[in-house]
Amino acid sequence: MKNFFIFIRFSHTLFALPFALGSMIVAAHGWPGWSLLGLIVGCMVFARTAAMSFNRIVDWEIDQRNPRTAHRHQLLKKREAIFFSAGSSILFLITAWRINPPCAFLAPVALIIIFFYSLTKRFTHFAPFFLGLALAISPLGSWIAVQGTLSLAPLILALGVLCWVAGFDIIYATQDEDIDRQEGLYSMVVLLGVTRALTLAKWLHFLLFVFLIAFGIMSQQHRGYYFFLAPVLLLLFYEHKIAATLQVSLLNRAFFQTNALLGFLFLIATYAGL
């Protein structure tokens, strides 16, 4: 299991989870109860595990030829990855069914979206936006889990998550520019080059901050929300300053620490804004 968690980068579950939980808190106007919290966290964990396992399966041969990712395939066999992906998908569907009928109905759609991302790099340069969409459905799902329906506020938050994820995925993809060109894969870095791709990532992260403010306004958050939101700008500035160095060792550390802390700040902000 330890090898499997490393194989799918389980620690990166922290990225989208705070946005799902923040959406849950705002939708419930406070604490929704332990039962619903457990079901939402379960859906998040199972969905991401299924999607990341599927991603590793689809990119198995490509990843083996990439020096940055080749070590992953010494941790697990392909049939084991297939088992975990299928099992996690089933557990996700069961957990969503336990929440309410709208979640049960939409759960297969969510699986299609998060699986589809893994194929996009083969035919479009907009793969980062498909990854953003895959993670953006998490706050939508949490909102539906609480209220059984959608409104404008979670849609705005989802757009923010989409821009955030697409931006940091573009930054992360700068490490793979050469291998992507060699393999004939599409990426925003291949299309635009590193400098212009990083500029696009900056604009996407600016839009993230705009959407987070808009979400606070639409959901009638109090000033505590904006107080904890302010450091997000500093985190984004730090992430792009590190990205501009193009140093892999610094980039990996900044990628995880900055984005994990950003999500945590958003979660705290939603509590403070009640």
Q: Please determine, for residue 222, whether its predicted confidence score (pLDDT) is greater than 80.
A: yes
- 36 — pLDDT class (breaks 50, 70, 90): very high
> pLDDT at position 47, please?
94
DSSP H helices, the chain, are 2-7, 17-28, 34-58, 60-65, 78-99, 101-120, 127-147, 152-173, 177-183, 188-192, 194-218, 223-245, 248-272
* Burial profile 228-258: b = 16 or more Cβ within 10 angstroms, e = fewer: bbeebeebbeebbebbeeeeeeebeebbeeb
Q: Rounded distance, CA 141 to CA 150, Å?
A: 9
Q: What would the DSSP string read from start to end of 55-83?
A: HHHHTHHHHHH-TTTGGGGGT--HHHHHH
- pLDDT above 90 covers a percentage of the chain that reads 59
**What is the value of pTM for the model shown?**
0.92
Q: What's the structural domain count of the chain?
A: 1
CATH number of the domain that residue 116 is part of: 1.10.357.140
Structure tokens at 48: 């991401």
- pLDDT band of residue 178 (cuts 50, 70, 90) is confident
Predicted confidence at residue 53, as pLDDT, reads 86
- Is residue 103 within 8 A of residue 145, CB to CB? The reply is yes
Which of these, 92, 100, 40, lies nearest to 267 by C-alpha position? 40
Per-residue pLDDT tens for 84-135? 889 999 999 999 999 999 999 999 999 999 999 989 988 998 999 999 999 9
Least confident residue range of 201-215, 223-237, 245-259: 245-259
pLDDT-based confidence at residue 9 (cuts at 50, 70, 90) = low
Judge residue 271's burial from the number of C-beta atoms within 10 Å of its C-beta, 0-12 exposed, 13-18 middle, 19 or more buried.
middle
Domain span at residue 7? 2-272
21-30 pLDDT, tens per residue? 999 999 999 9
pLDDT the model gives residue 174 = 85
From the list 123, 122, 88, the residue with the least C-alpha distance to 107 is 88
* Burial profile 81-104: b = 16 or more Cβ within 10 angstroms, e = fewer: beebbeebbebbbebbeebbebbe
- Residue 16: its pLDDT value, please? 80
- Residues of the chain with pLDDT > 70, as a percent, come to 91
Contacting residues for 197 by C-beta, under 8 A, at least 6 apart:
170, 173, 174, 188, 189, 191
For 31-69, letters b (16+ CB in 10 Å) and e give: ebeeebbebbbbbbbbbbbbbbbbbbebbeebbeebeeb
Distance of alpha carbon 193 from alpha carbon 43, whole angstroms: 37
List phi, psi (to 5°) of 243.
-60, -35
Tell me, what amino acid is at 170?
Answer: I
Q: Is the pLDDT higher at 176 or at 33?
A: 33
Average pLDDT over residues 69-95: 83
